[in-house]
């Protein structure tokens, strides 16, 4: 008889969660509670757990506000809880607000500590983020890493001599990605380079802020911003770009993560330019297809871009090389084997 796993998720379109559930549905009997709606409705939905039969709870979205209720209800059933802690509440708070309130910061740090200690098993997405969590929980045996994994896509690199260089970034968090820094970096390029490029930004956070920044800098001709894309459109725009800009922020979160956008770019074999964060140096280093920047403004980004524009042979020497990093670290098959092993350990 199959073990029963209760999946709690806030987003039915969340790629990581979907991949997790797809990988385990053949081995286990799954039931779902969708954490959505207004604050009272989504928390009320959680009480349906009382009437469900399960052997394990798997929370595959950071639902810190729900853990209190889930933990309370689960006291009666005493089943293990596994939590996908790929981001922390205080990280998101620091990432999305320009000015931080000391009391709120401490409140979110307390929330994180409660959540991480309350769950029986923890999963995160990089070794660096695991180290961050271990500063809080001090328990290596309950914390595992499953990298940002994806299904395999074919490498796609098409060089058009006469078309503009298509540069792309996709991301949301304010300080983690630092889109204004990218906009200024592109805007400060010499005119002869700007005439040969188009920089596209895909984001649904702070969209109007970035739109106004582009308007105020009068750089609409070579910088475009797109509010939202469906997943297939998102894959298509990455597939058809030439160069991807990763994360340029300076925060705990940007130091410890490899974004989904970077992994998808590697999956298609795109050239990726990103900051040399702790996670980037660990996962992306020593590869021709990835350019790690210590300081985007001071590093000779202009010379790199000029050479990339002019020299077809230079572009060919870089294009497709990043796929090797994807194959080594982010393939779904290898990473999802870890998930099955983790679940079995808690069910035995």
Euclidean distance between CA atoms 118 and 100, whole angstroms: 26
Pair of tokens at residue 243: 């160069």
Residue 331 DSSP class = B
Least confident of 62-66, 124-128, 203-207, 276-280: 62-66
Regarding whether 253 and 200 lie in a shared domain, the answer is yes
Regarding whether 184 and 319 lie in a shared domain, the answer is yes
Pair of tokens at residue 310: 């002019």
Regarding whether 295 and 216 lie in a shared domain, the answer is yes
Q: What is the per-residue pLDDT for 172?
A: 72
Q: What is the per-residue pLDDT for 143?
A: 92
Which CATH number does the domain housing residue 80 bear? 3.40.50.2000
Least confident of 203-207, 245-249, 275-279: 203-207
Regarding whether 139 and 74 lie in a shared domain, the answer is yes
Neighbours of 139 (CB within 10 A): 12
Res. 173 pLDDT band, cuts 50 70 90: low
**Looking at the domain assignment, is residue 226 inside a domain?**
yes
**What is the gyration radius of the CA atoms in the chain, in angstroms?**
21
Res. 38 pLDDT band, cuts 50 70 90: confident
Q: What is the per-residue pLDDT for 90?
A: 64
**Looking at the domain assignment, is residue 300 inside a domain?**
yes
Q: Is the model's pLDDT at 13 over the cut of 50?
A: no
Regarding whether 190 and 106 lie in a shared domain, the answer is no
**Looking at the domain assignment, is residue 155 inside a domain?**
no
The DSSP element (H or E) to which 340 belongs, if any, is: helix 332-347
pLDDT tens-digit profile of 315-337?
889 999 999 999 999 998 888 88
Regarding whether 224 and 85 lie in a shared domain, the answer is no
Q: At what angle do helices 127-137 and 102-118 cross, to 10 degrees?
A: 90
**Looking at the domain assignment, is residue 188 inside a domain?**
yes
Regarding whether 235 and 138 lie in a shared domain, the answer is no
Euclidean distance between CA atoms 205 and 166, whole angstroms: 22
Regarding whether 208 and 271 lie in a shared domain, the answer is yes
Q: Is the model's pLDDT at 57 over the cut of 50?
A: yes
The answer to whether the beta carbons of residues 57 and 66 sit under 8 Å apart is no
Tokens 């702790």 identify what position? 278
pLDDT tens-digit profile of 146-166?
998 888 999 988 766 667 899
Range of the domain at 142: 4-149+332-347
**Looking at the domain assignment, is residue 114 inside a domain?**
yes
Residues 63-79 have a mean pLDDT of 83
Regarding whether 275 and 231 lie in a shared domain, the answer is yes
**Looking at the domain assignment, is residue 157 inside a domain?**
no
Q: Does 26 or 10 have the greater pLDDT score?
A: 26
Residue 228 DSSP class = -
pLDDT tens-digit profile of 73-94?
888 889 999 999 887 776 665 6
Long-range own/partner contacts, residues 26-33 (CB < 8 A, 24 or more apart)? 27/2, 27/340, 28/2, 28/3, 28/4, 28/343, 29/2, 29/3, 29/4, 29/5, 30/4, 30/5, 30/6, 31/4, 31/5, 31/6, 31/7, 32/6, 32/7, 32/8, 33/6, 33/7, 33/8
Res. 303 pLDDT band, cuts 50 70 90: confident
**Looking at the domain assignment, is residue 41 inside a domain?**
yes
Q: What is the per-residue pLDDT for 82?
A: 93
Regarding whether 22 and 143 lie in a shared domain, the answer is yes
Is-above-0.85 flag for pTM? yes
177 burial (CB, 10 Å; 0-12 / 13-18 / 19+) is buried
Residues 4-22 have a mean pLDDT of 79
Regarding whether 113 and 65 lie in a shared domain, the answer is yes
**Looking at the domain assignment, is residue 304 inside a domain?**
yes
Least confident of 62-66, 183-187, 269-273: 62-66
Regarding whether 180 and 89 lie in a shared domain, the answer is no
Euclidean distance between CA atoms 5 and 49, whole angstroms: 12
Q: Is the model's pLDDT at 36 over the cut of 90?
A: no
Euclidean distance between CA atoms 71 and 56, whole angstroms: 12
The answer to whether the beta carbons of residues 261 and 246 sit under 8 Å apart is yes
Please tell me the total count of domains within the chain.
2
The answer to whether the beta carbons of residues 105 and 90 sit under 8 Å apart is yes
């Amino acid at each position: 008889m199959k073990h029963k796993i209760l999946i709690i998720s806030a987003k039915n379109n969340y790629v990581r969660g979907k991949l997790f559930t797809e990988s385990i549905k053949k081995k286990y009997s799954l039931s779902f509670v969708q954490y959505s709606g207004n604050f009272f409705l989504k928390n009320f939905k959680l009480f349906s757990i009382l009437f469900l039969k399960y052997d394990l709870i798997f929370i595959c979205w950071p639902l810190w506000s729900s853990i209190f209720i889930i933990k309370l209800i689960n006291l009666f059933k005493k089943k293990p809880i596994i939590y996908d802690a790929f981001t922390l509440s205080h990280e998101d708070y620091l990432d999305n607000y320009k000015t931080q309130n000391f009391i709120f910061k401490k409140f979110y740090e307390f929330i994180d500590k409660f959540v991480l200690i309350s769950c029986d098993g923890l999963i995160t997405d990089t070794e660096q983020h695991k180290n961050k969590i271990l500063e809080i929980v001090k328990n290596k045996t309950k914390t595992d890493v499953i990298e940002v994994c994806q299904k395999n896509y074919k490498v796609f690199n098409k060089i058009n001599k006469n078309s503009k260089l298509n540069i792309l970034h996709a991301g949301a968090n304010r300080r983690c990605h630092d889109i204004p820094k990218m906009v200024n970096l592109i805007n400060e390029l010499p005119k002869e380079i700007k005439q040969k490029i188009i920089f596209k930004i895909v984001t649904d956070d702070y969209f109007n802020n970035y739109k106004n920044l582009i308007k105020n800098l009068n750089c609409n001709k070579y910088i475009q911003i797109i509010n939202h894309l469906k997943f297939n459109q998102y894959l298509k725009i990455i597939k058809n770009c030439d160069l991807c800009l990763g994360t340029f922020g300076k925060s705990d979160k940007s130091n410890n993560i490899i974004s989904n956008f970077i992994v998808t770019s590697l999956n298609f074999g795109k050239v990726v330019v990103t900051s040399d964060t702790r996670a980037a140096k660990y996962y992306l280093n020593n590869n021709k297809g990835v350019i790690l920047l210590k300081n985007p403004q001071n590093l000779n980004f202009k010379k790199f871009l000029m050479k990339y524009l002019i020299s077809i042979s230079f572009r060919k020497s870089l294009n497709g090389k990043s796929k090797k990093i994807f194959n080594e670290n982010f393939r779904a098959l290898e990473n999802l084997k870890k998930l099955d092993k983790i679940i079995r350990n808690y069910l035995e």
